[in-house]
């Protein structure tokens, strides 16, 4: 078996594993969310039951829809989110696909996933979905600035501080945690960037308080109100995958530590321990950055969300950039 065949098999296995794991994480998220509200909550595998039920339902295309865009949007959104996992190092395992501009590609794939959902809303011909799509695009234009500032600042700092590896590669930050390189000024800068990135997560994954494009009580699910059957199942999977991959990227950038070497493990056991520990960190990040936030806060209005990201979070990310720059200069 040559290297190409191995990468294909490993990639397919990883994508299947991640798709199933994202639904498990969603089930845990719903249970913890319910318990925090003093409710029992659904069974752990309820997301699987929902997907299986939808796969058996009729796939209805509205008469006013543009069929190819309406049907293709959920698949493009889910595929773009899945592709990100091929560029994420998982513990001691290197990414299946890697290059010198992984973080730039990840930014594009995150944007593509969100844009595909908006296209599906616009193509449905529904007034409610149109409003949801407009909100999705407005929200995306708001949080992309602080997200880009965080990524560019970290890449620039890795280059100027002499961290081994390509500046825009996730492997660089996994190989040498950025916390071990900064001084006191840079430490506060990293904290600012981490908080800014965590603030972007709910908007990127479409969860409260930033589920403005799918607001059930305002625009009747907005983006996905006209979807049914297989298309709706793919939309649900796309939302779960976006949550998983966004938390995985945060973990790789800011919490890349492994545990295998600390226990003296070698070979396959080292890779297995670090792989499991990576997904434990992703799970904890999802609980802290998504579940707790959506339980504690109410939904923002679209103008509040834009103001929040353009001024508060963008300002915080720029402050982090200045502090890291000073750390390099000093």
pLDDT digits (tens, 9 = 90+) for 193-237: 999 999 998 888 877 787 777 777 766 677 778 888 888 898 889
What is the Cα–Cα distance from 306 to 149, expressed in whole angstroms?
16
Position 100 scores a pLDDT of: 65
pTM (two decimals): 0.91
Residues of the chain with pLDDT below 70 are: 1, 99-100, 218-220, 330
Give Dmax (Cα) for the chain.
Answer: 63
Position 207 scores a pLDDT of: 79
Position 188 scores a pLDDT of: 93
Q: Are 50 and 236 spatial neighbours (Cβ–Cβ below 8 Å)?
A: yes
Q: For 90, list phi and psi in degrees, rounded to 5.
A: -120, 95
- Residue 27 tokens read as 């089930």
Q: Are 67 and 61 spatial neighbours (Cβ–Cβ below 8 Å)?
A: yes
Position 1 scores a pLDDT of: 57
What is the Cα–Cα distance from 178 to 190, expressed in whole angstroms?
8
Q: Are 162 and 242 spatial neighbours (Cβ–Cβ below 8 Å)?
A: no
Q: Which of 229, 185, 235 is nearest to 77 (CA)?
A: 235
10 Å Cβ neighbour count for 319? 15
Q: Are 286 and 29 spatial neighbours (Cβ–Cβ below 8 Å)?
A: yes
* Per-residue pLDDT tens over the stretch 26-37: 999 999 989 988
Which residue has tokens 């939302």?
A: 239
What is the Cα–Cα distance from 219 to 112, expressed in whole angstroms?
23
> What does the H/E/C string look like for the chain?
CCHHHHHHHHHHHHHHHHHHHHHHHHHHHHHHHHHHCCCCCCCCCHHHHHHHHHHCCCCCCCCCCCHHHHHHHHHHHHHHHHHHHCCCCECCECCCCCCCCHHHHHHHHHHHHHHHHHHHHHHCCCHHHHHHHHHHHHHHHHHHHHHHHHHHHHHHHHHHCCCCCCCCCHHHHHHCCHHHCCCHHHHHHHHHHHHHHHHHHHHHHCCCCCCHHHCHHHHCCHHHCCCCHHHHHHHHHHHHHHHHHHHHHHHHHHCCCCCCHHHCCCHHHHHHHHHHHHHHHHHHHHHHHHHHHHHHCCCCCHHHHHHHHHHHHHHHHHHHHHHHHHHHHC
Domain positions in the chain:
3-249+263-329
10 Å Cβ neighbour count for 141? 12
- Residue 205 tokens read as 């994954």
- Residue 72 tokens read as 């293709």
């Amino acid at each position: 078996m040559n290297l190409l065949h191995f990468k294909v098999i490993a990639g397919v296995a990883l994508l299947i594993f991640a798709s199933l794991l994202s639904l498990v994480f969603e089930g845990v998220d719903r249970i913890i969310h319910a318990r925090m509200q003093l409710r029992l909550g659904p069974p752990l595998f309820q997301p699987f039951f929902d997907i299986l039920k939808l796969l058996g339902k009729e796939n209805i295309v509205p008469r006013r829809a543009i069929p190819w865009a309406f049907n293709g949007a959920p698949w493009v959104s889910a595929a773009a989110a899945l592709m990100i996992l091929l560029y994420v190092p998982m513990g001691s395992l290197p990414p299946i696909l890697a290059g010198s501009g992984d973080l730039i590609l990840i930014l594009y794939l995150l944007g593509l996933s969100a844009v595909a959902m908006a296209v599906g809303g616009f193509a449905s011909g529904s007034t409610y979905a149109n409003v949801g799509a407009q909100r999705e695009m407005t929200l995306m234009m708001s949080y992309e600035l602080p997200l880009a500032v965080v990524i560019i600042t970290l890449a620039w700092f890795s280059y100027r501080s002499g961290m081994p590896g390509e500046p825009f590669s996730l492997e660089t930050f996994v190989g040498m945690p950025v916390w071990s390189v900064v001084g006191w000024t840079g430490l506060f800068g990293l904290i600012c960037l981490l908080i800014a990135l965590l603030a972007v997560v709910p908007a990127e994954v479409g969860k409260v308080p930033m589920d403005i494009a799918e607001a059930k009580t305002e625009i009747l699910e907005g983006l996905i109100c006209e979807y049914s059957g297989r298309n709706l199942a793919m939309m649900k999977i796309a939302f779960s995958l976006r949550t998983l991959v966004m938390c995985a990227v945060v973990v790789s950038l800011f919490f890349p530590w492994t545990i295998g070497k600390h226990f003296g493990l070698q070979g396959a056991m080292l890779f297995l321990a670090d792989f499991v520990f990576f997904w434990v960190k992703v799970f904890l990040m999802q609980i802290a950055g998504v579940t707790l936030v959506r339980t504690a806060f109410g939904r923002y209005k679209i103008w509040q969300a834009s103001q929040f990201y353009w001024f508060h979070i963008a300002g915080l990310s720029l402050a982090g950039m200045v502090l890291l720059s000073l750390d390099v200069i000093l």
